[in-house]
């Protein structure tokens, strides 16, 4: 029956959205605050990408003057200030985010890394950078030259003059200087003692400011943006399915046989459609991502209050008159009833807020077409049922006189 199908769909919907919500909450739990108070005089940063923290430490531990500016327990990033003679520099390590995503944990780590790194870069907006990217597998180093790795929100990491390190955990590592990522086809590594890597980079002196985009439409988090698009597609699919079912339910309620004789049901249905039409008024033009949570909450409130009144009226209907109609629709009476919540036990707000913070372009401009269709249909149905309610008690003679008067105006 339709009821069982709807229940199965609701279980799937709840599971998918709850999983998305939990992933977002885990990403947010991984976001760490780090205010960089000290300022190095020459405004230079060496950015390590893809190194474990303990391995990262082996590249600078021989410096006499150094200070860790981040929490030692922070697994997401580490910031160190080093100084030798007249050379001062920040070293920043981001261990996650360069690997391909194969499971949920890697997805969460990749997204967390992008956000944390952007928060750090905002504080170093006037600094010049040199990047070190490392991987144990030389072949995989080509993969981390992918331009998507370089996208960090409003920032784009360097596409030229970066350094690659193979076998970063060994005492002697392979070092390759890449003039341009787009042109890097063959990699030829020089064997260098690990403790001499920073000296070589300072001697190379290839530091440059990061590219910063001002227009939100150009912001991208690389793989994280792909994850967000996946979230959006799942959310869109579920909302569309839910709205389609809702439209059919509202339409079916208006098709109930001899509805005009069921005064209480028609009155409450008219009230519901009127309030829903008011709720969705601005959605006739556009249903924005930013309005989604408010729209669903208001529909939930209507279902809980006015919807409950309709449910009670449905319980009092003569089932003998209704049975043929339900059989034709392949419905049960419960399929016509309003649930206590339109999207029960779900919190869409976490998903909406995530897009607000990290995908402003889609958050501001994306339109839920199916919600827009619902608004247009409800507006029409509200006018129809309002007309029938007003004309229900007018006798035919009075109705003809009223129509005649309207015609002569």
- Give the pLDDT band of residue 339 (cuts 50, 70, 90): confident
Question: Tell me, what's the pLDDT at 393?
Answer: 53
Q: What is the pLDDT of residues 283-299, one digit of tens each?
A: 999 888 888 888 988 99
Q: What is the pLDDT of residues 386-407, one digit of tens each?
A: 887 777 654 444 444 554 455 4
Q: What is the pLDDT of residues 115-151, one digit of tens each?
A: 999 999 999 999 999 998 887 666 566 555 566 677 8
Helix pair 223-254, 369-391: axis angle to 10 deg = 20
In this structure, of 72-76, 178-182, 205-209, the range with the lowest mean pLDDT score is 178-182
Q: What is the pLDDT of residues 233-249, one digit of tens each?
A: 998 898 899 999 999 99
Could you tell me which of 176, 172, 177, 163 has the C-alpha nearest to residue 196? 172
Place of tokens 């599971």: 15
Q: What is the pLDDT of residues 58-108, one digit of tens each?
A: 999 989 889 888 888 888 899 999 988 777 899 999 988 666 666 888 889
Question: Tell me, what's the pLDDT at 400?
Answer: 41
pTM: 0.82
- Give the pLDDT band of residue 377 (cuts 50, 70, 90): very high
The rounded distance, in Å, linking the Cα atoms of 231 and 221 is 14
Q: Write b or e for each residue in 263-292: b if 16 or more Cβ atoms lie within 10 A of its Cβ, otherwise e.
A: eebbebbbbbbbbbbebbeebbeebbbebb
Question: Tell me, what's the pLDDT at 6?
Answer: 57
């Amino acid at each position: 029956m339709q009821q069982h199908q709807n229940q199965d769909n609701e279980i799937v919907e709840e599971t998918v959205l709850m999983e998305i919500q939990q992933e977002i909450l885990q990403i947010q739990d991984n976001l760490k605050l780090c205010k960089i108070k000290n300022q190095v005089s020459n405004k230079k940063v060496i950015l390590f990408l893809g190194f474990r923290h303990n391995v990262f430490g082996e590249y600078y531990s021989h410096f006499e003057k150094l200070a860790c500016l981040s929490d030692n327990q922070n697994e997401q990033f580490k910031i160190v200030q080093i100084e030798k003679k007249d050379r001062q520099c920040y070293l920043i390590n981001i261990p996650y985010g360069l690997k391909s995503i194969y499971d949920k944990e890697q997805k969460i780590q990749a997204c967390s890394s992008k956000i944390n790194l952007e928060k750090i870069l905002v504080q170093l907006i006037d600094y010049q950078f040199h990047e070190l990217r490392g991987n144990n597998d030389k072949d995989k180093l080509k993969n981390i030259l992918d331009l998507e790795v370089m996208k960090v929100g409003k920032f784009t990491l360097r596409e030229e003059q970066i350094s690659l390190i193979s076998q970063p955990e060994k005492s002697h590592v392979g070092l390759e200087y890449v003039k341009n990522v787009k042109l890097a086809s063959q990699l030829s590594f020089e064997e260098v003692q690990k403790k001499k890597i920073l000296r070589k980079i300072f001697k190379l002196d290839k530091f440059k400011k990061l590219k910063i985009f001002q227009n939100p439409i150009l912001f991208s988090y690389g793989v994280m943006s792909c994850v967000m698009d996946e979230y959006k597609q799942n959310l869109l699919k579920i909302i569309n399915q839910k709205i389609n079912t809702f439209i059919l339910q509202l339409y079916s309620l208006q098709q109930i046989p001899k509805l005009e004789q069921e005064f209480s049901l028609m009155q409450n249905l008219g009230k519901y459609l009127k309030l829903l039409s008011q709720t969705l008024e601005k959605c006739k033009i556009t249903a924005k991502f930013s309005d989604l949570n408010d729209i669903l909450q208001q529909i939930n409130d209507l279902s809980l209050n006015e919807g409950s009144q309709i449910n009670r009226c449905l319980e009092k209907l003569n089932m003998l008159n209704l049975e043929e109609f339900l059989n034709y629709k392949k419905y049960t009476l419960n399929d016509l009833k309003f649930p206590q919540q339109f999207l029960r036990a779900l919190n869409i707000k976490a998903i909406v807020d995530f897009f607000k913070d990290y995908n402003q372009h889609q958050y501001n401009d994306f339109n839920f077409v199916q919600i827009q269709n619902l608004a247009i249909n409800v507006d029409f149905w509200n006018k129809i049922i309002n007309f029938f309610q007003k004309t229900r008690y007018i006798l035919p003679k009075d109705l003809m006189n009223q129509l005649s008067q309207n015609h002569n105006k």
